[in-house]
């Protein structure tokens, strides 16, 4: 790389002035999003699993995730973050190794969550903190910048409440996480509580009820970053689903007329 993408990625994280971290699932979607204005791209574990014909949550191996991420890095000029689920293992040492491997393929950062996949049970609190501490130590030992995001996913899985999630992300920040993330908290009041509770940037997720909001709402809450997760991939699957239903159930091909033309798509890819 000719520049430090990790440092570029870090500089985008400004509390109350969030950028959109656009989650892609292949070279084509990533290049389109970059051409349309994305300042950074992230993988999506769910969207990647869908491309492999698998369901979400713990269905993709570390080697597969690394190869997929490396493919996106090679296709883009903007920084890329890896959605690396639980770090691909329980042990803190495994999380640290995942950081090192992620850096080797050119990623500007990764996120690691506190759920023991493929189930939805959170790791015990002390172990969760130890995992992030090990990952952060590995990140700081790299020869270039690397942004580690620590996720507390128990609220999303209804495994613990917001108070426990905040307790965890506060500990993750103290353990060395550069950014923290509690997916789908209870509304913008909850998001504002999260942002006020830590001294590091906070990622928010544009999913569920938060898709009805504007970027200004996230800014007022104090978020530094808005990721899409699998939301954009699921919109794409909605189009496939509805168009296929119309074709196979009713013989109706009219939805196919709504697609982008080659003159619209090709310039976004051929760069």
Q: Give domain status of residue 238, yes or no.
A: no
At 58, which CATH number? 3.20.20.60
Q: Is residue 45 part of a domain?
A: yes
Residue 178 lies in a domain: yes
- Across the chain, mean pLDDT equals 96
3 — pLDDT class (breaks 50, 70, 90): confident
Helix axis angle, 262-269 to 27-35, nearest 10°: 90
pTM of the entire structure? Answer: 0.94
pLDDT of residue 1: 41
**How far is 194 from 17, CA to CA, in rounded Å?**
16
Residues in the chain: 271
Q: Per-residue pLDDT for 83 more than 90?
A: yes
The pLDDT tens digits for 14-60 are: 999 999 999 999 999 999 999 999 999 999 999 999 999 998 877 89
Supply the DSSP symbol for 211: G
Q: Which among 95, 103, 209 has a CA at the least distance from the CA of 146?
A: 103
Residue 103 domain flag? yes
Residues forming beta bridges with residue 204, ordered by sequence position: 226
Does residue 91 carry a pLDDT above 70? Answer: yes
52, part of any domain: yes
Give a yes or no: residue 254 inside a domain.
Answer: no
Mean pLDDT of 101-121: 97
| Strand ranges, E, within 37-102 | 40-43, 80-83
- Rounded to whole angstroms, how far apart are CA atoms 212 and 156? 18
DSSP one-letter string for 237-271: HHHHHHHHHHHHHH---GGGGGSPPHHHHHHHH--
270, pLDDT greater than 90 = no
Query: Residue 108: how many CB atoms within 10 A of its CB?
Result: 28
As for how many domains the chain has, the answer is 1
Give, in order, the Cα–Cα distances in Å from 101 to each of 5, 36, 139, 148.
16, 29, 11, 13
Distance CA 132, CA 9 (A): 19
Identify whether 156 is part of a domain: yes
Residue 223 structural domain = 5-231
The residues facing 81 across adjacent strands are 42, 109
Query: Do 66 and 45 contact (CB within 8 A), yes or no?
Result: no
Q: pLDDT band at residue 156, thresholds of 50, 70 and 90?
A: very high
How many separate helices (H) and strands (E) can be counted in the chain?
A: 11, 8
Of 131, 138, 49, 42, nearest to 86 by C-alpha is 131
Evaluate whether residue 11 is within a structural domain.
yes
């Amino acid at each position: 790389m000719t520049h430090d993408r990790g440092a570029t990625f870090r500089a985008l994280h400004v509390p109350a002035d969030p950028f959109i971290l656009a989650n892609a699932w292949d070279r084509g979607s990533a290049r389109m999003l970059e051409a349309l204005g994305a300042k950074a791209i992230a993988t999506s574990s769910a969207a990647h699993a869908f491309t492999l014909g698998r369901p979400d949550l713990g269905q993709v191996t570390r080697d597969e995730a690394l190869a997929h991420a490396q493919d996106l890095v090679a296709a883009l000029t903007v920084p890329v973050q890896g959605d690396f689920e639980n770090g691909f293992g329980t042990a803190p040492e495994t999380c640290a190794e995942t950081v090192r491997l992620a850096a080797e393929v050119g990623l500007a950062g990764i996120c690691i969550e506190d759920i023991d996949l493929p189930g939805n049970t959170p790791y015990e609190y002390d172990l969760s903190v130890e995992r992030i501490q090990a990952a952060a130590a590995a990140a700081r030992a790299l020869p270039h910048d690397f942004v580690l995001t620590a996720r507390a996913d128990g609220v999303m899985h209804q495994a613990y409440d917001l108070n426990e999630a905040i307790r965890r992300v506060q500990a993750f920040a103290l353990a060395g996480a550069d950014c923290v993330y509690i997916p789908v908290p209870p509304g913008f009041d909850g998001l504002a509580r999260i942002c006020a509770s830590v001294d590091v940037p906070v990622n928010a997720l544009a999913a569920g009820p938060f898709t009805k909001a504007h970027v200004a709402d996230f800014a007022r809450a104090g978020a530094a970053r808005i990721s899409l997760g699998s939301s954009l991939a699921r919109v794409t699957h909605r189009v496939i689903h509805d168009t296929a239903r119309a074709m196979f159930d009713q013989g109706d091909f009219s939805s196919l007329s709504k697609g982008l033309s080659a003159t619209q798509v090709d310039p976004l890819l051929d760069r």
